[in-house]
Amino acid sequence: MDPGIIRDSNPAMTATETAAADACAREATATSHRYAIPLALRWALYISGLVVLVMVVLGWFLISQQQKSYRHQTDLLGEMIIDQFARAASEPLVAGDLLSLEVLVSQQEKNALILGMQLLDLDGRPLASAGRIPVGLNNPLGSSSPDGGSASLVTGDGSAITYIKPVLFQRTAVGQALVSIDRRPLERNLQRLIRALVATTIGLIILGSLLAYPLARRLCRPIHQLVQVGEAIDRGEAGILEEHQRRDEIGQVLTSFRRMAEGLEQKRHVERTLSRYLSPSVAEKVLSSPDGHRLPGTMTEGSVLFCDIVGFTELSERLEPDQVASLLNEYFHYFSLAASSSHGTVDKFIGDCIMIVFGVPDADEHHALHAFTCALLIQSIAEEINRQRQAAGETTVLFRIGINSGRMLAGNLGGEERVQYTVIGDTVNLASRICGLAEPGGILLTHMAASQPGMEGLTRPSPMGGVRLRGSRRNVIPHEVDPGGFSDLELIQEGMEIILRSREAPS
């Protein structure tokens, strides 16, 4: 006997719920792989990169502007000094007053930024000088501006800059004035300022990077709220939506989520309700089909099991209607679990009878074997429940079961307003008839059911021989359980214990 006949899972869980859970698990796994890096961390990296780029560009711009400003100030200072020197030396130079020129040169040299000063005649001969003039000025007269403006020459090492300007008297050149300015103090100030700007830029970059993650987390908070709301909706906890009240765009999304949650809750309610009135497999087909209420009828091979109470009429006379209903619900609740665990589908409850089909709506090669297993489970469960009820002083009942196999029509029957998914045909009618022949607590099968694949050695012909059933034109040979041919009673016992352990309040 196939151990897979009794499912090692919760029999009460519907196929729809199982499929939905598997889909959610697959989606969650795919999502976790796709978004391995948290959104807040990625945003923090983006913000940090943007801060670094902006601060580098801003630092480079400020340093370039500061360098230009310093050099411009140096030129202004040098031009101002050379201009004053040339103006002051024009009259003494024309008068040939060398003493006045020496005094003038010596006074200008007192400026700490001036390295040296020199006056030349038109032939380039020094007339007065103080300090030092950087070497390399082979032709200072040729270096000056012909229009009387100043010119500048920078030394090779860049430590000094020499300004040259013609000395004019009444717009006539009478000599040359040279002043060398020390650039090192200004360059040191510039370097200190550049270092300060670089340190400030680095500090701002570090500060921006440190603040990027908290900022990114704050920016991602609405998205996390949407994720939490989505997960809550998936769990059916729509109440969490009331905890998030916003007046921005995220609030509009949450409002849409709230409406969606209400629709999903209604859908879940419909699915739960539908699964209580239909078998899980049929409910799944109806919900997954675009036109589920019009599932077409198809001829299929399967088995039908009928199980009813022995002496139900007498029982109904002795008990109150609510007591009868409670008794039926208790037994049928576990019989439904037995059907589910044996790959069967509860087709309908007919008063004191339960009808279970196998191989419908999903094809099953071993439908007869599964029906036979379900029958053994039902009788074992009924026996155990009767033992417990008898110990509690409550009413006990016996059941009889009939099974037939063959071709039948499966599909929706009814009108546009109301339909029912069921099976019809002579196979169904014969199963119902043979159920009435079974002994209390017994199981009868037709020869068609007993000869299905997997049924070899499990049954034997009944001693009653061939019988003519009402509505049948030929004799039917009933088969009963062969105690010597069935070796997996321990498996049946284990299945019964699993079902009874899932004891829930009967619906």
Measured distance CA(161)–CA(184) in Å, rounded: 10
Contacts of 236 (CB under 8 A, 6+ apart): 265, 268
pTM recorded for the entire structure: 0.52
Handedness of CA 137, 141, 144, 149 (dihedral sign): positive
* Domains, the chain, ordered by start: 51-189 (3.30.450.20), 294-501 (3.30.70.1230)
C-beta atoms surrounding 348 within 10 Å:
16
What DSSP letter does each residue of 262-311 carry, written as one string? HHHHHHHHHHHHHHHHS-HHHHHHHHHSTTGGGPPPEEEEEEEEEEEETT
Strands 475-476, 467-468: pairing is antiparallel
- Residue located via tokens 């050099």: 71
Token pair 């709220």 in the structure block, residue = 225
Q: Which of the 8 DSSP states describes residue 152?
A: E
HSE (CB half, 13 Å, CA atoms) of 165? 23
Q: Which among 450, 347, 365 has a CA at the least distance from the CA of 403?
A: 450
Other beta carbons within 10 Å of 399: 26
* Helix 15-34 and helix 280-288, axial crossing angle in degrees, nearest 10: 60
Closest by CA position to 372, among listed 238, 259, 491, 275: 491
The whole-angstrom separation of Cα 335 and Cα 375 is 9
181: nearest Cα among 119, 134, 135: 134
Residue with tokens 């088969």: 479
b/e per residue 221-246 (b: at least 16 CB within 10 A) = ebeebeeebeebbeeeebebbeebee
Digit-by-digit pLDDT tens for the chain (507 residues) are 444 444 444 444 444 444 444 444 455 444 444 556 777 788 788 888 888 888 888 888 888 888 888 888 888 888 888 888 888 888 888 888 888 888 888 876 677 778 888 888 888 888 888 887 754 444 444 455 555 566 767 665 667 888 888 989 888 888 988 988 887 887 888 888 888 888 888 888 888 888 888 888 777 777 777 777 777 767 766 555 555 566 667 677 777 777 777 777 777 777 776 666 666 666 666 666 655 555 567 899 999 999 999 999 889 889 999 999 999 999 999 999 999 889 999 999 998 999 999 998 889 999 999 999 999 999 999 999 999 999 999 989 999 999 999 999 998 887 767 777 889 999 999 999 999 999 999 999 999 999 999 898 899 999 888 888 876 777 888 999 887 666 666 777 777 777 777 654 444
The residue count of the chain comes to: 507
Pairing verdict, β 126-131 and 151-154:
unpaired
**Location of structure tokens 């090669």:** 365
Structure tokens at 46: 């983006």
Q: Which two tokens stand for residue 66?
A: 């500061």
Q: Distance between terminal CA atoms of the chain?
A: 32
CA dihedral 136, 139, 145, 147 (to 10 degrees): 170
CB neighbour list of residue 10: distance below 8 Å, 6 or more residues apart: 502
What is the signed CA dihedral for 59, 61, 64, 70, rounded to 10 degrees?
Answer: -90
| CA separation for the pair 379, 366 (Å, rounded) | 20
